[in-house]
A and B are shown apart, each in its own frame.
Chain A
Amino acid sequence: MARAVTTQRKALNTAVAWTVGLLIFFPILWTVLTSFKTEAEAIANPPVILFFDWTLENYGVVQERSNYMRFLWNSVIIAGGSTLLGVLIAVPAAWSMAFVPSKRTKDILLWMLSTKMLPAVGVLYPIYLLCIQLGVLDNRVALVVILMLINLPIIVWMLYTYFREIPGEILEAARMDGAGLKEELLYVLTPMAVPGIASTILLNFILAWNEAFWTLNLTSVDAAPLTAFIASYSSPEGLFFAKLSAASTMAIAPILILGWFSQKQLVRGLTFGAVK
């Protein structure tokens, strides 16, 4: 039984929590607000918070100057492609681990996870060299494959935990009800697995979108995604806060929205099921 709490206590909790929450969120909020200011307002002292001339000018400038859409498109292709490819490869693997486990299943799973722990910098040069040799440096397909491989252990793992939650009795019930293998897959297993697969896709899309080691080191122009686009702002150039904010807002907005949907999956996916 949860105990009833006095209204005063609840109000105090609310006040403290909202203050802390807004403080943590402030950099994001500030970035979004600044993106609508003029460059002069962006550095005004004291800072203007809400009462300024809202303008969309910065977004236009950013697009014009660096062709934002191309970077966005690269991000979509790389994050989306690597996630989908990963799921395609992982579904059969996770499936057989969950429903036809063998004595080695556990070891294989743990080994897969351990490959995720391999520090990227340790294999940076070999991968770099291989990309040069194969002529795929700054190539979207190469990044799709590399990010897929990086996230494959997490994808397999998440799918495995979701599949394992489908109770065996349901499959037996379907068999008693006269479902053959085909019907079992079509009417019972797939509909039950879809939410898990969707969550897996969501979280891995986010992880791939934000990946910033390989995308920075293996791209220059053609395949560069948003991570690299933002990094190009790292050398200051006169008044650029508002433009930087606009560029940042565009880079994080889609993923912030997706991220809010994936809070639960985040715990499951990133702790490998060790915290529930």
Chain B
Amino acid sequence: MAPAVFLLLVWMLVPLCMTLWFSLRDYRPLRGGDLGFVGLENFARFVSSSSFWPAVLTTVLIVGGVLLVSIIFGVLLAMLLDQPMWGQGIVRILVIAPFFVMPTVSALVWKNMFMDPTNGVFAHIWRAFGADPVVWLTDVPILSLILIISWQWLPFATLILLTAFQSLDSEQLEAAEMDGANPLARFFFIALPHLSRAITIVILIQTIFLLAVFAEIFVTTGGAFGTRTLTYLIYQRVLESQNVGLGSAGGVYAIILANIVALFLMRIVGKNLDR
């Protein structure tokens, strides 16, 4: 156990301390390097910069949008896949497949082959109905990103919710039926509460991964058209404009934010460990 613990400890502590250190200094490698200790100024400037609140809004919209789509459609898909049918295994594979597509591929395929305003599949469909094609990534950039990222994460939500669904005792549903509950009532009073734990877990895990979404933005808009999330903003501060002090302060915020979510997740996982 010791080597693994030691490695992870170093891996976590060293960069973390460095980030903390940089966040307290005016450090710009391209403009003279380390310009000295500035206290909490970076933290204040990161929050008060004109790009901060738009980035927060973008992050909330993308994370919230993807969560909404993947939970709602995930529950519906899980219910559908749980029904008796022919070729269940194959349908399952079809639904899960997008999760295994690497992020850069799915972003590029969607951007070019579907959302391209002249040659994309959507443009063909729009024209077939006599409508003007939408310039997706410029006109509705956030919606487009939600679509792309949801496509990647819907399989994950579906798979977990399906697993949870299958653990629902069918006798419980039959008991509710005997007690006079109609299908809608059975869904809301029996199935949904049974799924609530799985839904919570999906929300927590996806939130952690979605907060860190990077490649999808990197290859589609590059942060333009108001698609700059917090993660992307920090990335730009650190690597593009090389304002390491400011970016590190943003990084500290990101770490705190992720830890709040992680805390809830760890509590659920920890409880599960005792059983």
Verify whether A and B have any Cβ pair under 8 Å. Answer: yes
Residues of A within 8 A of B (CB): 1-3, 5, 9-10, 13-14, 16-18, 20-22, 24-25, 27-28, 30-31, 34, 42-43, 45-47, 89-90, 92-93, 96-97, 106, 108-110, 112-115, 117-130, 149, 152-153, 156, 206, 209-210, 212-213, 216-217, 226-228, 230-231, 233-234, 236, 240-241, 244-245, 248, 251-252, 255-256, 258-260, 263, 266-267, 270-276
Bound form: Cα–Cα A13–B248 in Å:
52
A106 to chain B minimum Cβ distance, whole angstroms, is: 6
Complex contact B4–A271 (CB within 8 A) = no
Complex contact B94–A119 (CB within 8 A) = no
Complex contact B94–A25 (CB within 8 A) = yes
Bound form: Cα–Cα A67–B255 in Å:
38
- Tell which of B101, B211, B254 has the most Cβ of chain A within 10 Å: B101
Q: State whether the Cβ of B12 lies closer than 8 Å to any Cβ in chain A.
A: yes
Bound form: Cα–Cα A227–B105 in Å:
8
Residue ID in chain B nearest A2 by CB atoms: B170
A4 to chain B minimum Cβ distance, whole angstroms, is: 9
With A13-B80, A17-B83, A18-B87 given, can you name 5 additional A-B contacts, CB distance below 8 Å?
Answer: A89-B7, A110-B269, A122-B255, A126-B22, A266-B99
* A-B pairs, 3 with minimum CB distance: A259-B100, A123-B15, A126-B18
8 Å CB interface, B100-144 against A: 100-106, 108-114, 118-119, 121, 124, 127-128
B256 to chain A minimum Cβ distance, whole angstroms, is: 9
B71 to chain A minimum Cβ distance, whole angstroms, is: 14
Interface flags, B79-99, vs A, CB<8A=1, else 0: 011011111101111111111
Q: State whether the Cβ of B61 lies closer than 8 Å to any Cβ in chain A.
A: no
Bound form: Cα–Cα A244–B114 in Å:
13
Complex contact B97–A25 (CB within 8 A) = yes
Bound form: Cα–Cα A248–B46 in Å:
38
- Identify B83's interface contact among A13, A21, A47, A92, CB under 8 A: A13
Complex contact A124–B205 (CB within 8 A) = no
Residue ID in chain A nearest B208 by CB atoms: A117
Residues of B within 8 A of A (CB): 1-5, 7-8, 11-12, 14-16, 18-19, 22, 77, 80-81, 83-88, 90-106, 108-114, 118-119, 121, 124, 127-128, 151, 154-156, 159-160, 163-164, 167, 170, 174, 197-198, 201, 205, 208, 211-212, 214-215, 218-220, 231, 234-235, 238-239, 244, 247-248, 251-252, 254-255, 257-259, 261-262, 265-266, 268-270, 272-274
Complex contact A263–B96 (CB within 8 A) = yes
B53 to chain A minimum Cβ distance, whole angstroms, is: 18
Complex contact B7–A275 (CB within 8 A) = no
Bound form: Cα–Cα A156–B91 in Å:
32
Bound form: Cα–Cα A233–B106 in Å:
12
Which residues from A are CB-within-8-Å of B258?
A: 117-119, 122
Which residues from A are CB-within-8-Å of B108?
A: 230-231, 233-234, 244, 248
- Identify A123's interface contact among B19, B87, B231, CB under 8 A: B19
20 cross-chain CB contacts under 8 A = A30-B113, A97-B1, A115-B8, A117-B258, A117-B259, A119-B254, A121-B235, A121-B251, A121-B254, A124-B234, A152-B8, A228-B104, A231-B218, A234-B104, A244-B108, A248-B108, A256-B100, A275-B160, A275-B163, A275-B164
Complex contact A252–B101 (CB within 8 A) = yes
Which residues from B are CB-within-8-Å of A233?
A: 108
Contact (A149, B8) CB under 8 Å given A30-B113, A117-B259, A251-B102 = yes
Contact (A92, B11) CB under 8 Å given A13-B85, A259-B99 = no
Contact (A20, B215) CB under 8 Å given A118-B255, A252-B101 = no
Complex contact B4–A90 (CB within 8 A) = yes
Complex contact B104–A212 (CB within 8 A) = yes
Complex contact A16–B80 (CB within 8 A) = yes
Complex contact B5–A17 (CB within 8 A) = no
Which residues from A are CB-within-8-Å of B100?
A: 206, 210, 252, 255-256, 258-259
Bound form: Cα–Cα A41–B213 in Å:
33
Complex contact A18–B251 (CB within 8 A) = no
A12 to chain B minimum Cβ distance, whole angstroms, is: 9
Residue ID in chain B nearest A102 by CB atoms: B1
Which residues from A are CB-within-8-Å of B205?
A: 270-271
Which residues from B are CB-within-8-Å of A206?
A: 100
Which residues from A are CB-within-8-Å of B255?
A: 118-119, 122
Bound form: Cα–Cα A110–B113 in Å:
42
Complex contact B248–A125 (CB within 8 A) = yes
Complex contact B269–A13 (CB within 8 A) = no
Bound form: Cα–Cα A220–B238 in Å:
17
Contact (A273, B212) CB under 8 Å given A27-B98, A121-B254 = no
Which residues from B are CB-within-8-Å of A106?
A: 270, 273-274
Which residues from B are CB-within-8-Å of A120?
A: 212, 214
- Identify B251's interface contact among A25, A124, A212, A266, CB under 8 A: A124
Which residues from A are CB-within-8-Å of B220?
A: 234
Which residues from B are CB-within-8-Å of A96?
A: 1
